[in-house]
Each structure stands twice: as C-alpha cells, then as structure tokens.
Amino acid sequence: MPVRPGARILVLRAADHGVTEIPDIAKLKWNLLFSRIENSPVVYDLWLDKYMSMFSESDLPVLDLGCGSGNNTKYLDERGVKVISSDYSEAALGKVSKDVPTARIVLHDMRNPLPFSDGCTKCVIADLSLHYFPMELTRKILNEIDRILIPGGLFIFRVNSIHDKNYGAGVGKELEKNYFLHQGARKRFFDEETLDSIIDGRWETVNRLETEVNRYGKPKIAWEVALRKKC
C-alpha cells in the first residue's frame, strides 16, 4: 500500500548505517497483514488516558515507535498532540498516513539507530513493539530512546508478559531466557526480573503493572511501564 501523496516521510535504510540489508520474512508478514486491513477502521483502547496531563508539559512531539496501524497515533492526534509515527512496515505507514494525515511518518527499522537528534522529543511510546529483539539489541534501543528524550521526558511502553499464553508465551525454541523462535518469528515475554534488568539508574518509574489488553480477539497479558528520564 503506497504512502499517501504529499505525506512527510523520512526513509532510513539499513545501508545508511553500514548494515547489509537482507530479506526480512517478518517484515513481509507485517506488510501483508497491514495491507489486508488497509480499509479497516482504527480502534484504540484508552490506556494512555492516565498520561495525558504529562503530554502537555512541552510543545515537542510524541514519537510513536513501532506504530503499526496507528492506534496510538490516532488517539493522540484526536487530542491535539503532535505525533511522529515510525514503523518499518511500508504498509503500516500507508495506513497511518491515510487515517491520520496530520502525523509525520518515518520509515525506520528499530534495529538501527533512531534518525532523530538528541533531546528532540518529550515522550516515546513503544506499544507492543519492543519484545522482538535479543536482549543486547533491546538495550541499544533503550539507549537510543534515552538519547532522543529531553530530561524529564517520558518513555511509555507495553511488552508481552510471561503470562501471555494466548499469544505464544513459552512456545517454540528458547533462544534466550523467555525469548522464543516459533514459526520463523522471534518474540520475548517479560517477567519482573527482566524488566528490572533494563530499567537502570537513568529512569524513574512512574507506573508499572501487569494488565490485560483487549484490542485482540483473545485476552492479551502485557506489562505496562511508564518511565521518566532523570534530569
């Protein structure tokens, strides 16, 4: 699905960072999925309601990292929040550009450094997009998020819980602790110990809870975490 004409889009390829691009089966699957739901309405839950007062603390935009079909982008846009929507699926960004034409969209693979300047955003949201990577790469992504956040900025994310049995917890070949390869896809499931290990002294915990996400056909169990970058 093409991105809408006139959309503001920044394209960052792996080669820009000296990384050889290879066929990505997971990306092909995501493009197929988002192409199939191109004309479906965007449905969002209200999990960000509790953070809305914090979004108004600065005029800087919010980065929706791994935005998918744009659920959170649409939620924020409808409430007057400026959004940068980033994903590595062209089909996902095509849908976002169609449904939320005011959003700035950025085609980017999270395995590479973020194409943004230091301290350029007040908040990064990563909703169910951080649990696909080896731990070493996950830490590098968090370092990049820390880099682009202003002091006092928010990092809000949801990741799979080890109790997410409807969506693959404990299934497949275990590559790292609670990180599985199943049918060609890699997915991590977080416990409290793993969360503790990635939340270091740079962050102040604002909120952390294990919760049920009702966006899907079956209940999905995830960790919801909000961190504030220390000044």
Q: What is the pLDDT of residues 143-164, one digit of tens each?
A: 999 999 999 999 999 999 999 9
Q: Is residue 187 part of a domain?
A: no
Q: What letters, b where the CB count within 10 A reaches 16 and e where it falls short, cover 103-127?
A: bbbbbbbbbbbbbbeeebbbbbbbb
Write down the pLDDT at residue 26: 79
Backbone angles phi, psi at 53, to 5 degrees: -65, -30
Check whether 98 has a pLDDT greater than 90.
yes
Q: Is residue 185 part of a domain?
A: no
Write down the pLDDT at residue 4: 35
Q: Is residue 175 part of a domain?
A: no
Check whether 3 has a pLDDT greater than 80.
no
Check whether 13 has a pLDDT greater than 50.
no
Write down the pLDDT at residue 34: 81
Q: Is residue 173 part of a domain?
A: no
% of residues, the chain, pLDDT over 90: 72
Residues 6+ positions from 28 with CB-CB distance below 8 Å: none
Backbone angles phi, psi at 150, to 5 degrees: -70, 155
Q: What is the pLDDT of residues 78-97, one digit of tens each?
A: 999 999 999 999 999 999 99
Instruction: Give the predicted TM-score (pTM) of the model.
Output: 0.87
54: domain CATH number? 3.40.50.150
Contact 63, 35 (CB under 8 A): no
Instruction: Tally the C-alpha atoms within 13 A of residue 63's C-alpha that lie toward its C-beta.
Output: 30
Total domain count, the chain: 1
Give the domain extent around 153.
9-160+192-229
Average pLDDT over all residues of the chain: 87
**Three state DSSP letters for 95-145:** HHHHHCCCCEEEECCCCCCCCCCCCCEEEEEEECCCCCCCHHHHHHHHHHH
Write down the pLDDT at residue 2: 35
Check whether 23 has a pLDDT greater than 60.
no
Q: What is the pLDDT of residues 163-214, one digit of tens each?
A: 999 999 999 999 999 999 998 889 999 999 999 999 988 999 999 999 999 8
Check whether 109 has a pLDDT greater than 80.
yes
Question: CA-CA distances (angstroms) from residue 187 to 28, 128, 171, 192, 211?
Answer: 16, 11, 10, 17, 18
Q: Is residue 176 part of a domain?
A: no
Contact 62, 122 (CB under 8 A): yes
